[in-house]
């Protein structure tokens, strides 16, 4: 009898455990529900609390808040269903589906924070106007920029991306070749190392007067400045990576009959790739800084030019929209570079975080 009762008790405990929610998952579901409530409340605030001024696209802001509220509701419902059946998941496909739900649930705190932040922003600007105009604009003004000034903003993004791509590609290739040459050849290092130490630490923007004098157009001068800012960190990190390769690798390759070209292409460069990518990350950050400065100085299109134009006309909502687009562009390009690194350096996947 005792054995049978113990068996029934353990089975009942197992049934309770099957439907017990992990605290972390339950908390995220509650946060998603709170985010949905916050977005609905924000939509009600926009709809029934009148603005002190007639801002366009107020209805668009309401629609956006309702869409985010609906998305938060879907997250909460999906998380509740996935969490409630956590112990019943057996198939690999169901596990993957539950994993994707948990991944999206990780955005619930940000959804809640954005709902509160945007509502507070709207209250301080459109509702009460405690923040001075035109330096601070409500969320409706940013929506208006993305709709009304979309062609000019999109053209600026295309021009900036093209300029950045030219300069970054030329600078990365030049820095890579210089770094490999210095790290491999003592003779090359004897001549290039002092030049690199003399010119490299100078800010690329210090060359603005000479660049715009020697190059025939502002575009080519900007490409040169971006390439210069990119080449220095790539060259230094590539040189360090090649110089740090263990001599044992070369000895083994020479024993097997490897030629110098094989040693460079198949031994030195692959071993130096982790350092090369660090230089590429640093060069990409430096190239963004120089890109904006160069476009403000002479280029007639691009995000830097758009920022200067918006500031000149006191169109601060346009300036904030351009800054947001620029941040998304920079973050997206760095993410793509990290994806490329993880693909090429699979044995170091996850070592660098972004």
Model confidence pLDDT, tens digit, residues 29-77: 899 999 999 999 999 999 999 998 888 899 999 999 999 999 999 999 9
Residue 210: what pLDDT? 87
When the pLDDT of each residue in the chain is averaged and rounded to a whole number, the result is: 85
Superfamily of domain 150-348: MetI-like (1.10.3720.10)
Q: Is 21 a residue whose pLDDT tops 50?
A: no
Residue 22: what pLDDT? 52
More confident residue, 79 or 163: 163
Instruction: State the Cα–Cα distance between residues 235 and 179, nearest whole angstrom.
Output: 4
| HSE-up of residue 248 (Cα within 13 Å, Cβ side) | 1
Q: In Å, how far are 90, 101, 178 from 87, measured between CA atoms? A: 8, 15, 57
Q: What is the pLDDT of residues 191-209, one digit of tens each?
A: 998 998 888 888 888 888 8
CA dihedral 117, 118, 120, 124 (to 10 degrees): 130
Q: Is 236 a residue whose pLDDT tops 60?
A: yes
Q: What is the pLDDT of residues 278-323, one digit of tens each?
A: 999 999 999 998 998 888 876 778 899 999 899 888 899 999 999 9
Q: Is 345 a residue whose pLDDT tops 90?
A: no
Instruction: State the Cα–Cα distance between residues 277 and 180, nearest whole angstrom.
Output: 14
Instruction: State the Cα–Cα distance between residues 18 and 218, nearest whole angstrom.
Output: 67
Q: Work out the pLDDT band at 156, boundaries 50, 70, 90.
A: very high
CB atoms inside a 10 Å sphere around CB 327? 10
Q: Would you kindly state where each structural domain of the chain is located, as residue ranges? A: 21-144, 150-348
Residue 87: what pLDDT? 45
CB atoms inside a 10 Å sphere around CB 350? 6
Residue 97: what pLDDT? 55
Q: Is 188 a residue whose pLDDT tops 80?
A: yes
Residue 98: what pLDDT? 60
Structure token digits, residue 247:
């001599």
Structure token digits, residue 208:
């603005």
Residue 83: what pLDDT? 66
Query: Which stretch of 11-15, 182-186, 273-277 has the lowest confidence by average pLDDT?
Result: 11-15
Residue 133: what pLDDT? 83
Q: Is 143 a residue whose pLDDT tops 60?
A: yes
What would the mean pLDDT of 347-352 be, rounded to a whole number?
A: 74
Residue 202: what pLDDT? 86
Q: Work out the pLDDT band at 217, boundaries 50, 70, 90.
A: confident
More confident residue, 25 or 165: 165
CB atoms inside a 10 Å sphere around CB 306? 28
Residue 158: what pLDDT? 94
DSSP letters spanning 305-349: HHHHHHHHTT-HHHHHHHHHHHHHHHHHHHHHHHHHHHHH-GGGT
Q: Work out the pLDDT band at 106, boundaries 50, 70, 90.
A: confident
Q: Work out the pLDDT band at 109, boundaries 50, 70, 90.
A: very high
């Amino acid at each position: 009898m005792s054995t049978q009762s113990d068996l029934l008790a353990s089975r009942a405990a197992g049934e309770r455990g099957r439907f017990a929610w992990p605290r972390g998952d339950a908390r995220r579901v509650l946060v998603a529900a709170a985010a949905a409530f916050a977005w609905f409340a924000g939509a009600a605030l926009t709809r029934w609390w009148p603005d002190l001024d007639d801002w366009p696209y107020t209805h668009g802001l309401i629609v956006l808040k309702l869409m985010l509220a609906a998305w938060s509701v879907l997250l909460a419902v999906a998380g509740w269903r996935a969490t409630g059946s956590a112990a019943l998941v057996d198939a690999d496909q169901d596990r993957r589906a539950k994993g994707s739900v948990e991944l999206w649930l990780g955005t619930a705190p940000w959804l809640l924070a954005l709902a509160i932040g945007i509502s507070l922003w709207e209250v301080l600007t459109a509702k009460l106007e405690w923040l001075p105009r035109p330096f601070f604009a409500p969320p409706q003004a940013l929506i208006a920029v993305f709709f009304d000034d979309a062609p000019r903003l999109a053209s600026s993004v295309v021009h900036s991306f093209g300029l950045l791509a030219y300069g970054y590609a030329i600078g990365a290739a030049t820095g890579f070749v210089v770094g490999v040459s210095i790290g491999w050849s003592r003779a090359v290092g004897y001549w290039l190392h002092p030049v690199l130490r003399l010119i490299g630490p100078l800010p690329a923007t210090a060359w603005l007067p000479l660049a715009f004098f020697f190059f025939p157009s502002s575009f080519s001068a900007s490409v040169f400045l971006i390439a210069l800012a990119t080449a220095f960190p790539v060259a230094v990190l590539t040189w360090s990576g090649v110089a740090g390769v263990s001599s044992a690798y070369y000895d083994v390759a020479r024993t097997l009959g490897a030629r110098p070209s094989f040693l460079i292409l198949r031994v030195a460069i692959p071993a130096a790739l982790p350092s090369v990518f660090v230089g590429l990350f640093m060069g990409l950050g430096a190239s963004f800084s120089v890109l904006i400065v160069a476009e403000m100085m002479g280029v007639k299109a691009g995000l830097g030019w758009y920022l200067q134009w918006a500031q000149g006309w006191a169109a601060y909502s346009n300036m904030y929209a351009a800054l947001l687009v620029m941040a998304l562009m920079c973050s997206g390009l760095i993410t793509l570079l990290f994806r490329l690194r993880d693909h090429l350096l699979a044995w170091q996947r996850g070592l660098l975080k972004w």
